[in-house]
Amino acid sequence: MSKQNYTKTVKLITCNTSQEANIIKGRLSNEGIYAIITNENFTDLMPHFNGIMGAGVQILVNEDDYERAYELIQPEDNSKPITCPYCHSKNIKFGLGSRKKHIIFQVILSLLVAIPFGNIKATYYCKDCNNDFKT
């Protein structure tokens, strides 16, 4: 009887969409790293649960390939400061944005009524012109 080598799979990243996950999986595959996508169907059917308690499309890789895979998916560091695309200010904050009170009210109301409160994500917020934006 021969001894087989089994490697443990670990979660590399959780994506918001199956398209994003498949792009990352393709990039890893091009570098010779085997990856598995999970929760793809659930995320496509129930997108309002993304980001809640770890829900989303997950990419799993072998534990031995984790460090190399993690380095491949990291964005390139431009070392360029983030500026507002509307007024070009550098007075930027990362958080719930200009609708912070509305979002907090929505979460509290959702908890009281026991319904999902949707996909709330942090964005960049310009303190000078009060606009929300993504990079």
Give yes or no: residues 25 and 60 share one domain: yes
Give yes or no: residues 100 and 45 share one domain: no
Give yes or no: residues 32 and 68 share one domain: yes
121 vs 63, residue with greater confidence: 63
CATH code, domain carrying 15: 3.30.70
Residue that has been written with the tokens 């070009």 in this structure: 88
**With contact defined as beta carbons under 8 Å apart, do 96 and 120 qualify?**
yes
Q: Is residue 3 part of a domain?
A: no
pLDDT in tens, 75-97: 765 556 788 888 888 888 877 66
Give yes or no: residues 60 and 19 share one domain: yes
CB burial of residue 98 (10 Å; 0-12, 13-18, 19+): middle
Count of domains observed in the chain:
2
Q: Does residue 2 register a pLDDT over 60?
A: no
Domain residue limits at 109: 92-133
Q: Is residue 80 part of a domain?
A: no
Give yes or no: residues 55 and 107 share one domain: no
